[in-house]
Structure 1
Amino acid sequence: MGSLLEVIALHPADAEAAQEGGADRLELCASMEAGGLCPSVSTVSAVRRVTDLPLRVMLRLTNSFTTNGAELNRLTATAQSYLSAGADGFVFGFLTPDNEVDVESVAALASTFAGTPWTFHRAVDAVLEQRKAWRALRSLPGLDCVLTAGSSLGVRYGLDDLCKLAKDDPQVAKVMMAGGSLKPEHVPWLYGSGVRRFHVGSSVRQDGSWTKAYVNSRFVRAWRNLLDAQDERQEEKDVKEHPG
């Protein structure tokens, strides 16, 4: 499996630059100061008009990881509007007040757009027991990706845990997407552990700014080249280990 590069986009200009730089998929959201919230439906439509990349849209109304029935109803309606506007999938995730995966709420929302793939976002980094959380994630319908840094502080602090999780369980490695202050030097370690999905945001913007800079296609291309080099090395290794 080749690597996947997902880039955070806030508007059409970001999306165009990400595609030009070689991104494989977009995460579309708003309000990064709150960790990413729902964008407007018009933004989803505008982004869809300028790119044909797979587009996953954030379903999150507040900067909390908990939710309630009223909010779920709003998110259900919002998700349908996003699908009509051209979304291919979603990004969301909820925790209980005890910081465990809120399986009931997550499954209830996912069931309203059955057949549409989605990503469980970095709420997973706030749980108290990682392995218990990953067991819960296995039961969720439609989930095909989990965005995680291994720590609420970022990949730098969670790298060892991510690598161990991925090495210990190939099924975890298959759905894991590393992101959250991801640095190029983290990639070889993650890749060597079986991770093939990578997520970048501020690192593809000048000075890492969400408010003063758009996605820079050259920065995206640097990430693309880094991942392609990892893929090539892996292919060469596979050929040597399994000739013919």
Structure 2
Amino acid sequence: MSRPILEVIALTAEDAVAARSGGADRLEVVTDMASDGLTPSREAFAEIRAAVDLPLRVMLRPQAGFGVADVRRLCRTAAELREEGADAFVLGFLDHEGHPDLVAVEMLMAVIDGCPWTFHRAIDRAADRHALRTQIAALPGVDTFLTAGSPAGVDDGLPTLLAEAARSGEPGYEPRIMAGGGLRLDHLPTLRAAGIDAFHIGSAARPEGWAAPVSAAAVEEWRAAL
């Protein structure tokens, strides 16, 4: 098997440096984890970009319960981030019925213009995962689904992750599965055996909680386990 990807959430340049030191392959750049991760400022992204040479995926999410005006503002922010050098993103929106909000997604796609992107854990709250995968996988640039398989996390979602990994290459299942959301070290052998080769950690990289920075030692433990 090829070397699996380890992605770590970074809120600050300090987080980014620690994650790189521990062996992270790339970073998801966000702010405000109390709101499950929102779009960072241009300045915060620039500080992280200056601190490390790792690939960065920048969250594009304004807030919960946003409207069209919020998406327009988010598009302006995405354009500023592109000007600052951001070249990969994380996004994903559902409508009130749990279907993919393609209007919001396509508005942002017009701004990021061919950059690779991840559809994040909104998939775990979709009314129909298969239908969402089929619709989203047909869009340009998407190369990853970040998913726990369940809104409750990997413990509950493990059977779904394994079933979807077994369909790799089928229509809707071409993008890579990146497992994340309540992910633990003891999940790794089962997920790796199923062919899943990308993993995302946030709180697992911070043994002292979100108020503390990323621990290089914790990231190193994950890198060694993978």
Structure 1 residue 81 corresponds to structure 2 residue 84: no
1:36-63 deviation line (CA, Å, top 9, x unaligned): 0111111001111110101111111112
Distance 2:127 2:146 in 1: 17
User: Residue deviations 1:167-220, cap 9 Å, x none?
Assistant: 12345375110000100111111111121110000001123x111x11001110
Question: Matches of 2:188 and 2:22 in 1, distance apart?
Answer: 18
| Percent identical | 42
Aligned to 2:48: 47
Asked whether the equivalents of residues 93 and 122 of structure 2 are also in contact (C-alpha less than 8 Å), the reply is: yes
Moved more, 165-174 or 3-12: 165-174
User: In 1, are the aligned partners of 2:21 and 2:216 still within 8 Å (CA)?
Assistant: yes
Relative to structure 1, the CA distance from residue 138 to residue 174 in structure 2 (aligned partners, 3 Å threshold; closer, same or farther) is closer
Q: Which moved more, 1:36-45 or 1:108-117?
A: 108-117
Q: Distance in 1 between matches of 2:26 and 2:87?
A: 10
Alpha-carbon distance between aligned partners in 1 of 2:186 and 2:131, rounded to the nearest angstrom:
29
**Deviation of 1:107 (Å):** 2.0
Partner of 1:186: 187
TM-score of the pair, normalised by structure 2: 0.94
Check the 8 A contact 1:127/1:133 in 2, yes or no: yes
Unaligned runs of 5+ in 1: 228-244
User: C-alpha distance in 1, partners of 2:167/2:46?
Assistant: 41
Alignment gaps of 5+ in structure 2: none
Query: CA separation in 1, counterparts of 2:175 and 2:143?
Result: 9
Partner of 2:67: 68
2:4 corresponds to 1:31: no
What TM-score does the superposition give when structure 1 sets the normalisation length?
0.87
Moved beyond 6 Å, runs of 4+: none
What is the CA deviation profile of residues 128-172 of structure 1, one whole-angstrom value per residue up to 9, with x for unaligned ones? 221111111212221111110011111111011111111123453
Equivalents in 2 of 1:155, 1:149: separation in Å? 5
Equivalent-residue separation in structure 1 for 2:168 and 2:51 (angstroms): 38
In structure 2, distance between residues paired with 1:74 and 1:226? 41
- Bigger Cα Rg: 1
**Matched position secondary structure for 1:72:** helix
Does the CA-based 8 Å contact 1:111-1:141 persist in structure 2? no
Paired residue for 2:109?
Answer: 110
> How many correspondences in the alignment?
223
Q: Give me the whole-angstrom Cα distance separating, in 1, the residues matched to 2:140 and 2:67.
A: 19
1:12: which partner in 2?
13
User: Hey, what's the Cα distance between the residues in 2 that align with 1:174 and 1:104?
Assistant: 21
Shift of 1:28: 0.6
Q: Any conservation in 2 of the 1:106–1:140 contact (CA below 8 Å)?
A: no
SS at match of 2:166: helix
1:221 and 2:220 aligned: yes
**In structure 2, how many angstroms separate the alpha carbons of the residues matched to 1:142 and 1:168?**
20
**Once the 2 structures are TM-superposed, how far is the Cα of residue 105 of structure 1 from its aligned partner?**
2.1
Q: Is the 8 A contact 1:167 1:173 kept in 2?
A: no
1:64-98 alpha-carbon deviations (Å, 9 max, x no partner): 4xx53322211111111112223221111111110
1:131-210 equivalent positions in 2, closer than 5 A: 131-170=130-169, 172=173, 174-207=175-208, 209-210=209-210
Kindly provide the amino acid, as one letter, of the partner of residue 43 in structure 2: S
Q: Give the RMSD, CA atoms, in angstroms.
A: 1.4
